[in-house]
Structure 1
Amino acid sequence: MACFFRRRIAEKLGRTLQQSEEAFIPALSAVPVFKKQQAADFRLSVSTLRISGILPSSGDIQLQTEDLATRLKQDADAVVEDISAGCAVINFRLNRTLLAQKTLEPFGKGEDDKFGLNSELFKTLKRGTTLVEYSSPNIAKKFHAGHLRSTIIGNFIANLKQSLGNRVIRMNYLGDWGMQFGLLGAGFGQFGCQEKLKQNPLQHLFEVYVQVNKEAEHDEDVKQAARDFFRQLEQRESEAVSLWQKFREITVDEYQQVYKRLGVHFDIYSGESFHQDQAQEVVQQLQSRGLLKTVENGAGVVDLSPAGDMSSVCTVLRSDGTSLYITRDLAAAMDRTEKHHFDEMIYVTDKSQVNHFHQLFQILLAMGHTWADRCHHVPFGLVRGMKTRSGEVVFLEDVLDEARARMLHNMSQAKTTKEMENPEDTAEKVGVSALIVQDFKGPLLSDYTFDWDRMLQARGDTGVFLQYTHARLRSLMWRNEGVEAATFDPSLLLDQASVVILQHLLRYDEVLYQSAQDLQPKHLVNYLLKLSHMSASAHRELPVKGSPQDVAQARLRLFSAACSVLANGMRILGITPVDRM
C-alpha cells in the first residue's frame, strides 16, 4: 500500500541526505495516471525540500535535482526499480511485482475497509470532536429541494471526518422560531383542519401558511393576530406552545422519512427555539463587555469596524427588545462548546450566509471566545433548473420520486433487473447516487444546472456509472466464488491495465487527505470515476473465466480491491453501493 512505499522512499532520502525520514513524507506524492503509458509511481518535489530548508534555497534547482537523483541511484534498493530527474522533481518507479503484492495485501486479510486510512499523511490532521451543523430546514414547511445541497454536503463532511478517526456529532439546527410561527399559529386557527392535518400534515401546513400570508398582505387584523400568537409563544402560554410543539413533531417525523431515503441521519435535532432564553443572556454579556451600542432607531448593534467608527455594524437586538437570528446563533455556539467540547464546528449553508458567519465569528472573538477560531463555514452555490416533468419543483420528495421512477424505467430495459428482489429499492439508491455525483463533481461554491438526462446516463461520469461498475465487479466475485485464494502471484499482474489500477490505488490516501484539507467532495468523486473507468477497461481486457487458475486468482484480487475502494469511497460520499442493477 502507499504508506509502505512512501515510507521506504523516505528512508532512502533520509540516508542520502542524513535527515529524519519524516521530513520527506510531505514532499512525496503518488503520480496521477493521466495516460496509459506511465513510468513513475511517486515523485519528490525538490521545491518543497528547498522551502523546508533540507536543500539550499539558492542555486540552480535543476542542477540540484539531477545531483540528488544521481546520489539516490547509488543507494541500491529492492523496492525502487528506477530513479530519474524531471523538471524540479525526482521520479521513482517501483518494483512492479512488489507494487502488486503490497498494494493488494490488505484485501486478502479482511482489512478492505481500512485501506488508505492508516496513512502517515493523516498524522498532521487534528483529531478530536467535530460538530457538523447541516440541512437545517424550516419547521412546518415541506423539505425544499434547496435544502438538498446542505444535507448531502454536510453528510459527506461528517462521513469523511468519521472515517479519518474523528468523533463526529451530526446536528440538524431547525428553523423553528420567529414571526413565521405567529402567522402559522394565527392561520391555523382560521384555516386549519385537524382531519387534513392527519392525512397529509406538511402539505396542509404549507397550504395554511400560503393562505395566511396572502391574507396578511391586505388585512391588518391577520397581521395583529400573528403578532399576538408569537407573543403568546414567547411568553410560553400553554395553548400556543402546545400547537407549536405539534407542528414541530409532525415536521421532524416527515423530515426523517426524507433523510432515510437519502441515507442521512442526525445525532441531535436542535433549533432556534432552544436558545430563545439564552439569546437574552448573550445581549446582557455584550452589554457588560461594552460591545452593545444603541443606534437611532433603538436597535442594539455590535460595532465590527476595524477603526471602531461604526462604519460596519451587526444588529443583535430589535428596537422592541426581541432577539434576531444572529443572537440565537451566538447563544447556540456558546451552548454547544459547553455541552459538546468540540475541537471544531463546521456550518454548512449556502453562500448567501457568508457575511452572517463572518459576523458571528467576529462577535464571538470580540466576546473573548478564542474557540471561535475553530469554527468554519462551508458555503455552497445554487442549483438551477431543478424541475420535474410536472413543472417547477417545490419539494424534495418530488425529485426523489422522479429520480427513482426514471431510474426504474432505465433499469427495466436491462435483462438483469428481472433477477432483483427489490428493483424499486435499487432504483431509489441509484437515483440518489446520481443526484449526489452530479452535485459533487465541481467546486462547492459554483452554481450548477440540474440536468436529468445527463445525471442518469449509465455511461460517462455519473453516479449511475459508479453503481453500475460496482455491481459488475460484485457480480464477477459471485460468479467466481471459490476461485479467489488467500494468496496470489503478484507477478501475474504486470500488464498495463493492471498496473494503472495499482498506481491509482496508491493515490487513495492522498485524495482523502486533500478532501480533509478543503472539505471538497470533488477530489473523491473524480478519483472514484477514474477508478471505475479503469476497472471497466480492465474487466474487458483481463478475463477471469477461462484463464488458468493462478491468473484468475490474481485478477480477482485486483478486481476485489478496486470494488472495495469504490464501495468505501462511495460510502464516504453518502452513496449506498448496490450489488445488482
Structure 2
Amino acid sequence: MKSRIAEQIKIAAGVDFSQIEIESWIEKPKFSTMGDFAFPCFRLAKEFKKAPNLIAAEIAQTFKLKEVERTEAVGGYLNFYLDLPLYSAKVLKEVIDKRAGYGQKDLGKGKSISIDLSSPNIAKPFSMGHLRSTVIGNALANVTEKLGYKVIRINHIGDWGTQFGKLITAYQKWGSEEQVKTSPIAELHKLYVYFHEQAELNPSLDDEARVWFKRLEDGDEEAVRLWEWFRKVSLEAFSAVYEKLNISFDSFNGEAFYNDKMNDVIAMLEDEGLIEESEGARVVRLDDEGLPPCLIQKRDGATLYATRDLAAAFYRKREYSFEKSLYVVGNEQSLHFKQLKAILKKLNILWAEDLVHISFGMMLKDGKKMSTRKGKIVLLEKVLEQSTALAAEAIEEKNPNLKEKQQVAEAVGIGAIMFHDLKVFRQNDVHFELKDMLRFEGETGPYVQYAHARACSILRKAAVKDSSFSNSKVAPASFGEEERAIVMKISAFEEVIEEAFAEWDPSKIAKYAIDLAQLFNQYYAHTHILNELDEEVKAQRLLLLESITIVLKESLRLLGIQAPEEM
C-alpha cells in the first residue's frame, strides 16, 4: 500500500523524486486517529519553495486512490485514512490465497548468498554460547530465501588450530581410549579443561602443544589419526543437536578443508608485495586502514584464521558466485573481519565489500560469559532436554488429553529457547534464564505459539477448512478499530521481512509476531466469534482469524520455530 500511495503522491505533486524515495518517507502514525499512513510534506518544502502545510493541502485536493477513503492535511503532514472494508478484503484475500507464500518476493531473482553460521569447535561441547550464531544465521537464511535468493548454509567447523595440539597433548598424557569411546565429547572436554589448569602450573605444556600441532600440520600419522577420531565423534554429537533444532547445512567444510588452498593466497600476497617480516612472523600491514598488522604466518610457519578465511573467501566466490557472503560471528571478531576485507581491498578484489560480518552479543550466564576453556559452560543439548521436560509438565497440567504431547512439548520447549535469543537485537547480549524463556505470557515463544494454537482451535470448532476462504467474496463491512489494527499489522508483514533482511535483524520478525499475537489475544478477549449470531459477521471474523494463523505460523517458520495447532 505504501508503494501505491507513493505513486499517487508523485502524480499529484508532480515532483521528480523517485517513487521508491517517496515511499521511504511515508510513515506509520503513532495513533490510528492520525490516519493509517502519513506523508511529511517538509520533505518537499525546498523543491516547492512553499510551507509544508500548503503543500499537504494541495496534494490532498488531487490525490486519488481507491483504497484511500479520505486524506487530511494537518500541520505539514498529509494523513491517509484507508477504506477499511475494501482494504481488509484485499489484504485478507491475499493472505488466504497465498498462505505460506504471503510476504514472499523475488528481490533476489535466484542470486546466491552464502551464510557462514554455527561453526562450533571440534572436541568441545555444543554449548549455549554456540546457539546465537546458529539460530540467528538460520533465521536470516530463511528470510533471505523468502525474498528470492538462493542460500548456501555453511557450517565452517572449527576443526583445525592450536587447540588440537593442546588436546592431543592432554590425551597422550592423561587420556583413556576406553573413556573417550564411552563418552567422547564429555571426556575430550574434560581433558581440554585439565590441560589449561595444568598449563598454568607448567607453561612448558604449551610448548609441547605447539609441537604436536606442527606435527599435525606436517601430516604426522599419529597426530592425524587422533585428529580424525576427535572430528568424527564431535560431528556425530553435533548432528544430534542440529536435528533437535531442525537446522541443516549445505556445507560442513571447516578450517581443515582450506589447508591445501592457503599457499595460493600467500603467493598472491607475496606477488603484490604485501607481506612483511615481523619478529620472525609474516604479516600484512594495514596502517593506512587504521588497523593493526594482520598475522598471516607464525614464526614456525603455522597458519592462522586470517590466512584460512582469505582462502575460504576466494573458494566461496568461485564455488557459489555469491551476491553477498555473510559471516554470523560474535562481536569480538569485528577486528578480524575488518582486517580480512582490508587485505582483499589491497589485492584489488572488487567483491571485498560483499563480505558482511553479522555480529552479535554474548550469551551470559549469571551475568558472565560462558567459557569452554574454564569449563564454565551450559550444554545446549541438556538445555533443550530440560526445556522440553518443563514444557511437557506445563502441557500435562493445562491440557492432559492433548494428542502427540511429546512432539508439542519439543516444539514448545525448543522453540522457547530459540525465540528467547531471536527476540533480542542481535548485537545485544542475551541473558540465559530457562524459566523466563518458557513463560506462556509476555514476550516469549510459547506466548506466540499459544496464540496461534488458540486461533486454530476456534477455527476447528467453526469447522473452517484451509481452503474455505480461497474464493471468498465476503467483504469485511463490519470491521471496526480493533480489526483495523490487526489488518494493518498483517499488511505490514512483507515490509517487516524486507527490513529484517536489509538490517540482518531477525528480531524484527520476532517482535512482529509478539505484536500480532497480542492484538489477537486482545481481540479474542473482547469480541464474540463462535457465538456471534450474525452469520455474515461471524464469517468475516473467522476470515480474520485464519489470516492471523497463517501469518503467525509463517513468522515462526522464518525464525526456525514450529507452530503447533494444539497446545
TM-score by length of 1: 0.89
Aligned with 1:169: secondary structure?
Answer: strand
CA contact (8 A) 1:132 1:345 kept: yes
Amino acid of the residue matched to residue 564 of structure 2? V
- Counterpart for residue 155 of structure 2: 172
- Counterpart for residue 145 of structure 1: 128
Q: Residues 114-170 of structure 1, C-alpha deviation per residue, up to 9 Å, x if partnerless?
A: 21224xxx75x7861100001111101111211111111111111110111100000
Q: Establish whether residue 566 from structure 1 lines up as the match of residue 552 from structure 2.
A: yes
- Counterpart for residue 248 of structure 1: 231
Q: Residues 157-189 of structure 1, C-alpha deviation per residue, up to 9 Å, x if partnerless?
A: 111101111000000111111121122223323
- Counterpart for residue 129 of structure 1: 112
Amino acid of the residue matched to residue 23 of structure 1? Q
**Once the 2 structures are TM-superposed, how far is the Cα of residue 224 of structure 1 from its aligned partner?**
5.4
Q: Establish whether residue 89 from structure 1 lines up as the match of residue 77 from structure 2.
A: yes
> Which stretch of structure 1 is more off in the superposition, 177-186 or 370-379?
177-186
For residues 523 and 57 of structure 1, the distance between their equivalents in structure 2, rounded to whole angstroms, comes to 36
Identity of aligned residues (%): 30
- Counterpart for residue 267 of structure 2: 284
**Once the 2 structures are TM-superposed, how far is the Cα of residue 33 of structure 1 from its aligned partner?**
7.5
Change over 3 Å in CA distance of 1:31–1:464 after alignment to 2: farther
For residues 238 and 402 of structure 1, the distance between their equivalents in structure 2, rounded to whole angstroms, comes to 41
Aligned with 1:93: secondary structure?
Answer: strand
Residues 204-223 of structure 1: pairs in structure 2 closer than 5 A: 204-218=187-201, 223=206
Unaligned runs of 5+ in 1: none
> Which stretch of structure 1 is more off in the superposition, 246-255 or 429-438?
429-438
Aligned with 2:260: secondary structure?
Answer: helix
Aligned with 2:472: secondary structure?
Answer: coil
For residues 169 and 24 of structure 1, the distance between their equivalents in structure 2, rounded to whole angstroms, comes to 30
- Counterpart for residue 454 of structure 2: 472
> Which stretch of structure 1 is more off in the superposition, 355-364 or 14-23?
14-23
**Once the 2 structures are TM-superposed, how far is the Cα of residue 514 of structure 1 from its aligned partner?**
1.3
Amino acid of the residue matched to residue 274 of structure 1? F
- Counterpart for residue 43 of structure 1: 38
Aligned with 2:79: secondary structure?
Answer: strand
Q: Establish whether residue 500 from structure 1 lines up as the match of residue 508 from structure 2.
A: no
**Once the 2 structures are TM-superposed, how far is the Cα of residue 293 of structure 1 from its aligned partner?**
1.0
Q: Residues 227-262 of structure 1, C-alpha deviation per residue, up to 9 Å, x if partnerless?
A: 443233212233432321121121111111111212
**Once the 2 structures are TM-superposed, how far is the Cα of residue 372 of structure 1 from its aligned partner?**
0.9
Amino acid of the residue matched to residue 579 of structure 1? E
**Once the 2 structures are TM-superposed, how far is the Cα of residue 524 of structure 1 from its aligned partner?**
1.6
Aligned with 2:253: secondary structure?
Answer: strand
- Counterpart for residue 64 of structure 1: 55
Q: Residues 324-366 of structure 1, C-alpha deviation per residue, up to 9 Å, x if partnerless?
A: 1111111111111111111100111111111110011100111
Aligned with 2:348: secondary structure?
Answer: coil
Aligned with 2:528: secondary structure?
Answer: coil
- Counterpart for residue 387 of structure 2: 403
For residues 173 and 149 of structure 1, the distance between their equivalents in structure 2, rounded to whole angstroms, comes to 15
1:9 corresponds, among 2, 5, 9, to 5
Change over 3 Å in CA distance of 1:472–1:161 after alignment to 2: same
Change over 3 Å in CA distance of 1:167–1:207 after alignment to 2: same
For residues 517 and 402 of structure 2, the distance between their equivalents in structure 1, rounded to whole angstroms, comes to 24
Residues 165-204 of structure 1: pairs in structure 2 closer than 5 A: 165-204=148-187
**Once the 2 structures are TM-superposed, how far is the Cα of residue 19 of structure 1 from its aligned partner?**
6.2
- Counterpart for residue 361 of structure 1: 341
Change over 3 Å in CA distance of 1:181–1:7 after alignment to 2: closer
Change over 3 Å in CA distance of 1:393–1:407 after alignment to 2: farther
Aligned with 1:490: secondary structure?
Answer: coil
For residues 258 and 514 of structure 1, the distance between their equivalents in structure 2, rounded to whole angstroms, comes to 30
> Which stretch of structure 1 is more off in the superposition, 347-356 or 311-320?
311-320
CA contact (8 A) 1:108 1:487 kept: no
- Counterpart for residue 317 of structure 1: 297
- Counterpart for residue 117 of structure 1: 104
Change over 3 Å in CA distance of 1:218–1:449 after alignment to 2: closer
2:329 corresponds, among 336, 349, 354, to 349
Residues 218-233 of structure 1: pairs in structure 2 closer than 5 A: 218=201, 223=206, 225-233=208-216
Change over 3 Å in CA distance of 1:568–1:31 after alignment to 2: farther
Q: Residues 5-43 of structure 1, C-alpha deviation per residue, up to 9 Å, x if partnerless?
A: 4454345334423469962675267865755x5452222
2:378 corresponds, among 394, 397, 409, to 394
CA contact (8 A) 2:284 2:294 kept: yes
- Counterpart for residue 236 of structure 1: 219
For residues 148 and 60 of structure 2, the distance between their equivalents in structure 1, rounded to whole angstroms, comes to 37
For residues 380 and 366 of structure 2, the distance between their equivalents in structure 1, rounded to whole angstroms, comes to 10
Change over 3 Å in CA distance of 1:87–1:352 after alignment to 2: farther
Change over 3 Å in CA distance of 1:406–1:62 after alignment to 2: same
Aligned with 1:431: secondary structure?
Answer: helix
RMSD between aligned alpha carbons? 2.7
Aligned with 1:470: secondary structure?
Answer: helix
Aligned with 2:546: secondary structure?
Answer: helix
Unaligned runs of 5+ in 2: 368-374
- Counterpart for residue 409 of structure 2: 427
CA contact (8 A) 2:284 2:296 kept: yes
CA contact (8 A) 2:265 2:311 kept: yes
CA contact (8 A) 1:11 1:21 kept: no
Amino acid of the residue matched to residue 562 of structure 1? I
Change over 3 Å in CA distance of 1:410–1:342 after alignment to 2: same
Amino acid of the residue matched to residue 419 of structure 1? L
Aligned with 2:529: secondary structure?
Answer: coil
For residues 560 and 127 of structure 2, the distance between their equivalents in structure 1, rounded to whole angstroms, comes to 19
For residues 203 and 132 of structure 2, the distance between their equivalents in structure 1, rounded to whole angstroms, comes to 37
Aligned with 2:152: secondary structure?
Answer: strand
CA contact (8 A) 1:33 1:500 kept: no
Amino acid of the residue matched to residue 5 of structure 2? I
Q: Residues 518-549 of structure 1, C-alpha deviation per residue, up to 9 Å, x if partnerless?
A: 11122222211111011112223333323233
Amino acid of the residue matched to residue 406 of structure 2? E
CA contact (8 A) 1:30 1:507 kept: no
Aligned with 1:277: secondary structure?
Answer: coil
For residues 435 and 114 of structure 1, the distance between their equivalents in structure 2, rounded to whole angstroms, comes to 26
Aligned with 1:143: secondary structure?
Answer: coil
For residues 456 and 359 of structure 1, the distance between their equivalents in structure 2, rounded to whole angstroms, comes to 41
**Once the 2 structures are TM-superposed, how far is the Cα of residue 71 of structure 1 from its aligned partner?**
3.3
CA contact (8 A) 1:441 1:525 kept: yes
For residues 296 and 48 of structure 2, the distance between their equivalents in structure 1, rounded to whole angstroms, comes to 51
CA contact (8 A) 1:488 1:553 kept: no
- Counterpart for residue 275 of structure 1: 258
Aligned with 2:359: secondary structure?
Answer: strand
CA contact (8 A) 1:408 1:427 kept: yes
CA contact (8 A) 1:232 1:240 kept: yes
